[in-house]
Chains A and B, each alone.
Chain A
Amino acid sequence: MDSNPENHAVIEFRKVCYQANGTDAIVRDLNLEIRRGEMLVLLGRSGSGKTTTLKLINHLLAPTGGEIRVDGRPAQQWDVIRLRRMIGYVIQEIGLFPHFTIEKNIGLVPKIENWPAERIRERVHELLKTVGLDEQIAKRYPRELSGGQRQRVGVARALAADPPILLMDEPFGALDPLTRADLQREFLDLQFRLRKTVVFVTHDLHEALILGTRIALMEAGRLVTVSTRDEFLTSREPLVLAYRQAFETDFSKRDHP
């Protein structure tokens, strides 16, 4: 990555559209810049296009219009495999490889990148510590872990080859509230140290406010607003108001940052 100062857009959407064959557009005319080291939250209801937007970044989906630049280079100039290996990806279903031990799950990308075995082992143990897991877990299989442990492994796996960008699609959505709160807090600490560029999809306003440096609100395939946390809390934008209202009752009980 180049060494340009902060505020340099690491990911850039220019008039991006996405449409699956013959259906209505899922993402329309999207313009968005994601800056180095920020945690941008894509907030929106189900079907608003936030997951699609995320998948356009690592080219799991190809845009039908417009251009997406990663690190200043348009997508078609990237070798897709190289692009994906510098972008960590964490999803709600986690998708750990059930036939691999935790160690092999986390070490897969380093292994296909031909790291020496000893270095992979060290990296795996370092990462297990980073995400707050006991190193003894390395030899176990995913089915032997709890949901919270599995998602910690999911995060560790995404970080394995130290990618500068992380994409996270409701990663804590399937966890119980206490585990979710733990993981949110830990992830915030982790991000404070690692300073990755993170794009985080959620429909949960609490989560958006806890984690996001900026919040991009989506509705029906369009970007409604992009705002900082404070701007979001004072915005008069009708959809933002609707969101705040929907979460209001819990809100008063909560001492958010």
Chain B
Amino acid sequence: MNIWQFILQNHAEVVELTLEHIWLVGLSTVLAVVIGIPLGILITRRPSLNKPVIGTANVIQTIPSLALFGFLLPAPWIGARADRLVILALMLYALLPLIRNTYAGIKSVDPAVVEAGRAMGLTDRQLLFQVELPLALGVIIAGVRVATVLSIGVATIAAAVGAGGLGEYIFRGLAMVNNTVILAGAIPAACLALLADLGFGWLERRLSPQ
């Protein structure tokens, strides 16, 4: 049976696993945005926090995903359900690109523009929301883009702890030594990653100040 026949025959399940995948990636990315962007802003204001924050996010990034799932398993509430655990892990992975790009984006704003704003009597909040964030938006979206594409890949491993998603097919195919089944998970996952990349790429170009 070729891959297209397989997908057609199991379309209900393919759709369900795809939606599950999107849910895991979507929620974790939203959480990472909500936490990562403020952290990125914070370290532009408190330079002494720069190293510890970026350093911690860096260390998290180096933990292999299966090991991270394992570490989180004994945690109360989180460990009780596989999808919670996976969403937390994915969020932790997505933090680094978000913190780093928010920081880099704000730092890359022309110092003369920031100085002019400050000298005009903008408060720190006005400077941030009217000048720095709008000018950093393209770079921040680039961070969301990297984080999302990364998460779509890592989320395939979620099936190993029973959180579902397209990794379900990949692990099943591996167990059955059946490439068709593996591809039924891998191809939709790749398509998702491609779509996210294109979508955020477009948004990044739209929102970057020329």
Contacts and interface: CB of A to CB of B under 8 A. Distances in A.
B120 A108 contact: yes
B134 A109 contact: no
Main secondary structure of the interface of B (DSSP, over half): helix
Given A82-B121, A109-B121, A143-B210, A94 B116 contact: yes
Interface residues of B, number: 20
Interface of A: 58, 60, 81-85, 87, 89, 91, 93-99, 108-109, 112, 141, 143, 157, 167
B209 A89 contact: no
A81 B123 contact: yes
Contact of B112 (A60, A85, A93, A99): A93
Contacts of B116: 89, 91, 94-97
A98 B121 contact: no
B131 A91 contact: no
A16 B90 CA distance: 54
B135 A112 contact: no
A30 B131 CA distance: 34
B121 to A, nearest CB: 4
Contacts of A93: 110, 112
B126 A112 contact: yes
A129 B131 CA distance: 26
B119 interface: yes
Most chain-B Cβ atoms within 10 A of its Cβ — which of A94, A95, A108, A109? Answer: A95
B110 to A, nearest CB: 7
A219 to B, nearest CB: 25
A82 B210 CA distance: 32
B210 A84 contact: no
Given A94-B112, A108-B130, A112-B121, 19 more contacts: A58-B119, A60-B118, A82-B121, A84-B119, A84-B121, A85-B121, A87-B119, A89-B116, A91-B115, A95-B110, A95-B112, A95-B113, A96-B116, A97-B116, A97-B117, A97-B130, A97-B131, A98-B110, A143-B210
A84 B123 CA distance: 10
